[in-house]
Amino acid sequence: MLKRIGIVWMIALLQQSLCGLAFASPHKAFADDQTRTIQQGSSVTLTANAPPGDPPPAAYQWVKDGLPISGAIRKDLVVSSAGRYQVVLYNADGCESKQSDGVNILEAPPNIYADMAIDVKDVRSSDNLDDPFKYVISIKNNGKDDATSVKVQDQLPNEIQLQQLIAPLKGDASVSGKNITWNIGQVKVGETADLSMIVKALKTGTITNAANVSATEPDPVLANNTDNVTTIVTELVIPNVFTPNGDNVNDTFVIPGLDTYPGNELTIVNRWDATVYRKVNYKNDWTGDGLNEGTYFYILKVKQPTGSWSIYKGYVTLLRARQ
């Protein structure tokens, strides 16, 4: 509800009593401008004043759109709706004046707005081309009023394949080709909602996904109606077996192309999740010394030229027996 405000307006009166009571030329508080605009839900106060030197009126009757307003018989009138307002003055003898010049009251639309903000992020366990990952779209209403007919649209890039659109807890989401549409009937003030989807990159490189949000209500902050996330997909091919048996063939755990990156960190764990090897700036020289044959799991962090870090996870089998 908007705060009600009171504004005193002097209605200029130039009247001639029907029974001989005269009113001199009045002071005009607003020159010749007798039209004012108020916000819906607010109010103004109109005040009828006789000009200086004239006898004060004994009674008043306010008129709206040519018809008397029931009970509006005082000097002041609180107005909260559109219309043309006039006043009739009465002297002590009950004689009435002509209707005053009118004041036109206009109503502006209510000052309602919803500030819808959107955030797009990717959730990944690996930067490997073969591993699916998740996009999460989050929206929030930062405005002072509820948002209605909220729509989120995400045009997936050509390098991305949608594998699963997860049904949101709020609203309905649909897919047409690469276009994701999420409709929500209402998002209350301060409320948040999420939409998730599982996707897979079709090629390596830098992939940017952008989404936007809109609502029926005016939005004073358009800058947060759109957001995007950039994902770097690499093509390191990590072997899943090596044979450190001294035959000079595949004796170390070699990751082709690793030396082209500015930094890395390799961690090897066993089936009980205990770390058996860790190396910063790994040089493709791990031989599995002291370890039994079997399957181990790796976590490889690779620093990209942009400064961000890519993470690869998988398994590698260590075999020592000669074939």
Q: Which residue has the higher pLDDT, 306 or 48?
A: 48
Which candidate, 87, 117, 125, 126, places its Cα nearest to that of 238?
A: 126
The predicted model scores a pTM of 0.54
16 has pLDDT over 90: no
Residue 313 CA to residue 201 CA, distance in Å, equals 17
**Number of Cα atoms under 13 Å in the Cβ half of residue 82:** 7
Ordered domains of the chain (ranges, CATH): 8-108 (2.60.40.10), 116-233 (2.60.40.740), 241-318 (2.60.40)
Q: How confident is the model at residue 124 (pLDDT cuts 50, 70, 90)?
A: confident
Q: Which residue has the higher pLDDT, 234 or 99?
A: 99
Q: Which residue has the higher pLDDT, 50 or 259?
A: 259
Q: Which residue has the higher pLDDT, 261 or 180?
A: 180
Quickly list DSSP for 96-144: BPPPPPPEEEEEEPP-----EEEEEEEE-S--BTTS-EEEEEEEEE-SS
Q: How far is CA 42 from CA 46, 72, 137, 231, 262, in A?
A: 14, 19, 38, 50, 64
